[in-house]
Structure 1
């Protein structure tokens, strides 16, 4: 397990006071390590989990050559260019069982979608391409299909013994269907990642508390909870922790004993009049960054150690889960927990989570696909941008009449304007070396669908 100093030495030009977004992700890729513990789950419980081993197909899919259409199966060699073909129907092949008859020259079999192709037949003409003739005959119009059309081959999807899904794949609804199509009732996945979260600061109000001058209600707790829940991790909600050394130490120690990762919001800026930075330094190996980005400049990362034998004691039950129940005592990794100290502004919390924390957590979960996909869209407005930092503008992506993607900002881009995040369906990513954007320029967009 590498220290912060060792990781920093591996990054050329590492400067914690002016770190690029790319260097942040490179650093976090070295800091976090994938889980190793696994469990075997039934498919109904595996959605959103990460495969811990390859899924090898025990069968070929499909198991036989079969018809892709409702129509008529015949030997395609009988087709002649420019000439119609008349065939006699000698039987019907239904899905679910093989047709036992034989087919000779000038003959065909009526066949249903998915039915096994009778021996010697290699082509299916859709029913709508035929006309009925006298005494059980059909006629195929000239030049409407080629030999081999509308036949699915055995193993066309997967051959027996091939890898259907690779280790590290996220189990999506489509992936669950694929596993089920192989007749496999269970999958082996990495255990669920445990992430503890709390907000810090005396100015933070929990829901239910009366308003007071200078205080704000804690929105970050709920957005981070939502982001983590969408990610599929086990969320350990430690609530709001006051700016008190003893309370902060207890919260960090509890989180380090019970979780694989800790996320905090607030208290990481230089000059903050609270104890959060001091406690992070005291309890772990932590770096404090000023990232060349907007919004979300300050961030802390590292590891927080647990003082005892890495097992939650009964005292940890003082913290209820977000669902109102109490978490069971669980054992965390011997190295403590990875720390992500995020800014306090609501939009900055979400941006830093999406740009940096989410990819790192996916890596910890064992996923091999961690980078957020970027779409290319045409900007419908001009945007001012300084080269030398990455900017994440809240954007609204729409589809133009010609099918191309267009994007505009949602207006006020202040890091405390939470309503603009609700109106957006993606982040316009203006990269480190990029300058001003003119109307009609292409830009990258990180879409929110399924994330926020």
Structure 2
């Protein structure tokens, strides 16, 4: 028996975000862990804090090439005896006597009794073993202090961090060769519609090339998940149900595009509701209103609109943030900046409007933005000819030229 499918009113975007965030927190999807060599851990999520067993630097060392000495011994025209040379990895270990200095290279350990490094450009060699200096230096000058980079027993990277090459270089620098990360989530993707065909196939009257699986799959892969592509499924209830059942058994999240609106062949909501539970349908956002979110037997369901721009906007504004939450990634959210509108921007109240626009930075450092003329949810050029979303709030009824608006620069994830 079909559950009550009375169309709800539009859910405010912030409420949709909260529902999905709470779903992720209470999700039965619990990522398991695996250990990977650093070479293979880029873009993966750290499963536990990474603690350094060592100080960095291990000891005080020279920040530049020069001479190590005791700062209080410096005086104009005083000649120091060069007692030896210190190299990175080959230190000078004898304590310096009064009037001695050591030629030292960048990264070399500071010799005993030395407390400063004076740059070589301020040195004048007076003999085979003598040198004088101009000017003064203070104690600690040009020295990298022990543990000033990393202190032993401190957390250098915390659980939930998405690993970049920068993070992995830091991990290598503390002597760690592998890292515990969460195993990748598995996400199933398919598109629905009798009118859809694969790119490269000759079009017949009434057909369109399917593009949503490309954008969805590639963005998901950038998020570090395994993607299973179930292809294009026709508007057939039996095939849709079997595809959902198969994907639900294998995946943590199932994402479809199309079939969630109010057309005669839009079956997805009813099938999802029969197999599980729809948590909400229709969000007060433009484009992307028909977005559906729910729970199947084993996985979460995200139903994207069929229009390609609407699908991409929902993917970035809602679904990608949900995936990150399931991955237990910290630092969720996207950067938002204020910019000045170069022209009047039209909008009606009642929905958050993510208009596509192009921002630039003026010579005086002010961000300025212009919306694209084309804002159709079916025209992908409105995305490719833009570099940001102009985010207009629910209650906004338009923006005058010269007034401030919020923008979200496009990002890869």
Normalised by the length of structure 2, the TM-score is 0.90
Partner residue of 2:237? Answer: 245
1:134 is paired with a residue of what secondary structure?
strand
Q: Is the 2:56–2:174 Cα contact (8 Å) retained in structure 1? A: yes
Structure 2 Cα separation of the partners of residues 71 and 343 of structure 1: 65
Partner residue of 1:357? Answer: 319
Q: CA RMSD in A?
A: 2.4
Partner residue of 1:50? Answer: 45
Moved over 6 A (4+): 83-86
Structure 2 Cα separation of the partners of residues 386 and 86 of structure 1: 80
Partner residue of 1:6? Answer: none
Q: Is the 2:269–2:278 Cα contact (8 Å) retained in structure 1? A: no
Structure 2 Cα separation of the partners of residues 403 and 93 of structure 1: 47
Partner residue of 1:104? Answer: 97
Deviation of 1:359 (Å): 0.8
2:126 is paired with a residue of what secondary structure?
coil
Partner residue of 1:196? Answer: 188
Deviation of 1:288 (Å): 4.0
Partner residue of 2:177? Answer: 185
2:321 is paired with a residue of what secondary structure?
helix
Partner residue of 1:328? Answer: none
Quick check: 186-195 or 372-381, which moved more? 372-381
Quick check: 88-97 or 435-444, which moved more? 435-444
Deviation of 1:88 (Å): 4.5
Over 3 Å counting, the alpha-carbon distance change for 1:36 and 1:78 in structure 2 is same
1:353 is paired with a residue of what secondary structure?
helix
Q: Is the 1:198–1:238 Cα contact (8 Å) retained in structure 2? A: yes
Partner residue of 2:117? Answer: 124
Q: Is the 2:43–2:224 Cα contact (8 Å) retained in structure 1? A: yes
- 1:341 counterpart = 2:336: no
Partner residue of 2:363? Answer: 401
Structure 2 Cα separation of the partners of residues 292 and 141 of structure 1: 69
Deviation of 1:344 (Å): 0.9
Partner residue of 1:384? Answer: 346
Structure 1 Cα separation of the partners of residues 116 and 390 of structure 2: 49
Over 3 Å counting, the alpha-carbon distance change for 1:402 and 1:89 in structure 2 is farther
Structure 1 Cα separation of the partners of residues 323 and 285 of structure 2: 21
Over 3 Å counting, the alpha-carbon distance change for 1:133 and 1:409 in structure 2 is same
Q: Is the 2:31–2:184 Cα contact (8 Å) retained in structure 1? A: no
* Match for residue 141 of structure 1 among 121, 126, 135: 135
Partner residue of 2:4? Answer: none
2:20 is paired with a residue of what secondary structure?
helix
Structure 1 Cα separation of the partners of residues 41 and 12 of structure 2: 36
- 1:235 counterpart = 2:235: no
- 1:158 counterpart = 2:150: yes
Partner residue of 2:70? Answer: 75
Deviation of 1:433 (Å): 4.2
1:243 is paired with a residue of what secondary structure?
coil
> What do the CA deviations read for 1:239-264 (whole angstroms, capped 9, x no partner)?
10000011001110011001000111
Structure 1 Cα separation of the partners of residues 350 and 87 of structure 2: 65
Quick check: 30-39 or 289-298, which moved more? 30-39
Deviation of 1:294 (Å): 1.2
Partner residue of 2:294? Answer: 302
Over 3 Å counting, the alpha-carbon distance change for 1:202 and 1:167 in structure 2 is same
Deviation of 1:190 (Å): 0.8
Deviation of 1:423 (Å): 2.1
Q: Is the 2:279–2:295 Cα contact (8 Å) retained in structure 1? A: no
Partner residue of 1:65? Answer: 60
Q: Is the 2:161–2:329 Cα contact (8 Å) retained in structure 1? A: yes
Normalised by the length of structure 1, the TM-score is 0.83
Structure 2 Cα separation of the partners of residues 405 and 73 of structure 1: 49
Partner residue of 2:3? Answer: none
Structure 2 Cα separation of the partners of residues 434 and 107 of structure 1: 73
